[in-house]
Amino acid sequence: MGRPREFDVDEALETAMELFWRKGYEGTSLTDLTEGMGITKPSLYGVFGNKEGLFLKALERYERTKMNFFHEALKEPKARDVAERILRGFADSQTAETGPSGCLGINGALACSEAAAEIQKCLIENRHRGERDLGKRFERAAKEDDLPPGQEPYDLARYIMTISQGTAIQAASGADRPALYRVIDMALQFWPVPVAQNS
């Protein structure tokens, strides 16, 4: 029989996620991780492989638990409701009382050196995937005449994701949820409305 694990993997992963979220990938040292998780370096390597492997597991957990609102929002019947629910969902996550401010994906990718190029590439691809999923949803909206003719769905998706990345940086700098909501309200004033809905 193998030796039993000396720690709760789920709890350790939650701690690692919060550390990476707060400090970024490179800003979080192995000592930060082992002390925060209450484990030894051999245990970390034995379960997660290395720091990169641990980060990828933490990112997967973050997407599953903190970003689950995103794919739920895509199910909204109207494109504007999709956009609003996504933006408010990001703002809520970025200012939650129980976690760090900002966004793990944004915080993790900032100031990455060449040594962390693979992590940065993974985070960028993650953001692009979300943008593509949103673009596909807006493509459907265009076919349903829920967007004006000529409105480029993927440009609109990029606009929404750019606003969400901006609110993440604002949150990490201390902006509270009401302040982010006001920014979102301003951004949605420019939402393209089909002519039929204007008349």
Residues 6+ apart with CB under 8 A from 145: 194, 196
Q: CA distances (Å), 133 to each of 75, 103, 136, 138, 193, in order?
A: 12, 19, 5, 9, 21
Half-sphere exposure of 195 (CA within 13 A, CB side): 3
Residues 6+ apart with CB under 8 A from 167: 87, 90, 91, 94, 175, 180, 183, 184
Q: Which two tokens stand for residue 4?
A: 């039993």
Report pLDDT for 177: 96
- Supply the DSSP symbol for 76: S
Q: Which two tokens stand for residue 181?
A: 């909501």
Query: Average pLDDT of each block of 10 consecutive residues along the chain (199 residues)?
Result: 62 93 89 93 92 93 93 97 98 89 78 72 89 97 95 96 94 94 96 71
Report pLDDT for 199: 47
- Alpha-carbon span 60 to 38, nearest angstrom: 21
Q: CA distances (Å), 23 to each of 3, 34, 107, in order?
A: 33, 15, 7
Contact predicate 31/41, CB 8 Å: no
- Alpha-carbon span 84 to 73, nearest angstrom: 9
Report pLDDT for 122: 86
Report pLDDT for 6: 62
Domains assigned to the chain: 9-61 (1.10.10.60), 67-189 (1.10.357.10)
Find the radius of gyration of the CA atoms of the chain: 19
- Supply the DSSP symbol for 7: S
